Amino acid sequence: MKRRLLAIAVSGVGLAAAVYAPVSAATAPADSAKTRFTCSAGHVTAPAGTEVESVTADLLPAGTFQVPGEPPLGGYPVPDVPARCEVTVTLTHPGADDHATVRVWLPRSGWNGRFQALGGSAYAAGDSGGGLAAAIQQGYAAATTDAGVGGALDTSWALNDSGQVDTALLENFADRSQHEMALVGKEVIADVYSKAASYSYWNGCSTGGRQGYMEAQRHPDDFDGILANAPAVNWNQFEVASLWPQVVMNEKRTYPSSCEFNAFNQAAVKACDGLDGIKDGLIGDPGRCDYDPRKLIGTKVVCDGAQTTITAADAAVVRKIWDGPRSTSGKRLWYGLPIGASFDYLAASTGTDGTVHGVPFLVPSAWVSTFVKKQPSFDTSKLTYAQFEKIFRQARAEYDDVIGTADPDLSAFRDSGGKLLTWHGGADQLIPTAGTVDYRERVERAMGGSKRVDDFYRLFLAPGTAHCALSGKTDDLAALTAWVEDGKAPDTLPATLTNAGGETVERDLCRYPKVSRHTGRDAADGFRCIPAARH
């Protein structure tokens, strides 16, 4: 049975864990069955600015692959992985004392003639093995890189012995190693199969989504198609902005419980659910949802068996978190948590006996403490509004050119014939959906409007969907290959959504700037795509 990777947000961590779900594999090029296969450590040309330290090749048998690491991100088996050649290439940049590993998996038989590169999550630059296994089950030759850095929550590499950011490793993580992996992966494929891949694809979500956008922006010839979902673009804005809920709670000395936060989300969904023409537990057009959390003041809710009353201070916290970070003068700095998205990650707190303090989410906290402040022990739970604004501007000044991934000029990617496909959940609790919309609109302004941009870049918004939680619930890669290879641009993206009541809902996602609007006919089939409210 063919299977593909399903990335889900893991409670308390918010990273991509691997689960598998059956899907249909894309049709292979007609001549793929005639491909020769030779698993050997052949010559690898060093990409510009690098040296090849080592090349190894191992022929691995079919069977169950145990993904390394601890659950839920690792430590689980992937059954039915085909026999494959694993080629491992280690690169270094002279003078940098770095060691970036590229892993390429190539199925012994049934290669579909395509190359798939796999992105990472949080601070991990690449895949730990689950994605590689899923890709070769579909017939792809696949590659990933560790960029010479650590795992998803490992930033021990960030500072050198002088306490300054290791610029070589940061450049690897931000951009350089993904491009070099693309070059090495293609060469290894051509060597093992004695023919080049017919098409090359990028596949990533979150950090992997950001990497895909960076490839389109800086290395437009690397891939024919880029699948970049819930992308961590506008890196400095959203990473620092992810601490805004902690700043608000600290300044207001108010820390609503998870149960109280959920009450606000439930009220908002109830108020805005029908704006798309049907009550189905989903906010179909978030741009039209203007629910005011002050409406909940005085409402009694039961949390952990005890009754509590929503206060004006609770509502003020929620209102500022939804609104998003602003400067001390009131100017918007970035977007807030989407209405309906879980507060559990960015607005977590803990305490006993009346003493409560915030618990910042690990990924943005590490970015601010280690990369911006260069003090890993810096306490991001105690930030004031003034400190936050200063850090926000400092991060942009220092790192936008390195890892911002916000360049709207995709003309080179367009001219190369590349196609970029993205979906983003409307209830993403880690990366504001509005930031991806903001980027898309800047591309439109830079490149001649929505219709021209749609020729090579399409964005789909998934109502009620959390971070990377649509993976495995839509055949996005098949839609991308059909666009690249057959010229069939996706106008809608069929998907399985989960509404506020936990029920599954089948829905065709509309390409931005359109949203689904129910026409009043059959509940399942009565939708049409209409222009969305602009952010």
- Find the catalytic residue in 32, 128, 200, 206: 206
Determine the 3-state secondary structure of 372 from DSSP.
Answer: helix
Q: Which two tokens stand for residue 194?
A: 């004695």
If DSSP states are collapsed to H, E and C, what string results for 217-253? HHCCCCCCEEEEECCCCCHHHHHHHCCHHHHHHHHHC
Beta partners for residue 229, in sequence order: 205
> Cα–Cα distance between 322 and 289 in angstroms, integer?
11
Exposure string for 108-141, b = 16+ CB within 10 A, e = fewer? bebbbbbbbbbbbbbbbbbbbbbbbbbbbbbbbb
Look at phi and psi of residue 524 and say left if phi exceeds 0, alpha if psi is from -120 to 50, else beta.
Answer: alpha
Q: Is 428 a catalytic residue?
A: yes
Q: Which residue do the tokens 């190369």 mark?
A: 416
> Cα–Cα distance between 37 and 382 in angstroms, integer?
58
Q: Is 516 a catalytic residue?
A: no
- Please give the torsion angle defined by the CA atoms of residues 213, 219, 222 and 223, in that order, rounded to the nearest 10 degrees: 30
Q: Which two tokens stand for residue 212?
A: 């895909």
Which amino acid does the sequence have at 190?
A
- Find the catalytic residue in 467, 471, 516, 518: 467
Q: How, if at all, do strands 355-358 and 457-462 pair?
A: unpaired
Q: Is 54 a catalytic residue?
A: no
Catalytic positions, written as ranges: 206, 428, 467
